[in-house]
Copies of this chain bind each other. A is one copy, B any other.
Amino acid sequence: MFDISDMPIESLRSEERLMMPGQLLARGVCRHLASHGFSVIEEFTPERGKRLDVMALGPKGQLWVIECKSSRVDFTSDAKWPGYLEWGDRYFWAVDQDFPTELLPDDTGLILADGYDAEILRMGPETRLAGARRNAVIRRFAAHAARRLQALRDPEAGLEG
């Protein structure tokens, strides 16, 4: 694993310099999950007021929620995360190698990440969504991904990005 915060800033590509630490972790998580057949979206809003850092749809239809925390204060200042558990079958934290992981609840999953890749260290317990809810969440995932994709492919379509 490579810690991007140790890199001299000049060696980061320009778009990486513009990414927040949490976004770099999300990118690494997404690359890792994609390599295992998951489809992923970042900054998914399942309902008003909730934004999930990474939502992953697995090859068997499983739904994983991953929150990326770049520092102690990033974690301790987040009071919303228990509300995210209900959106997936499994819940994970993604942190870098310097994160004080003893802060994290034992009964959640843990992913070690940097900007380039990630590794699942601990699977959290599985709480499977009921079928109707799973289908509703997958439909929102589909709509979100397709609208973002169209906004990138056709910027003049007038969709938000």
Contact = CB atoms under 8 A, between A and B. Distances in A.
A27 B149 contact: no
Interface stretch (A34-42, A75-83, A98-106, A120-128): A34-42
- The range of chain A's interface size is 20 to 34
Interface in A70-119: none
Contacts of A57: 139, 142-143, 146
B135 A34 contact: no
Contact of A142 (B34, B39, B157): B39
Give the number of times this chain occurs in the complex, counting copies: 2
User: Which of A35, A39, A61, A144 has the largest count of B CB atoms less than 10 A from its CB?
Assistant: A39
Overall SS of chain A's interface: helix
Interface in A137-161: 138-139, 141-150, 152-154, 157-159
A68 interface: no
Contacts of A139: 57, 61, 138, 142
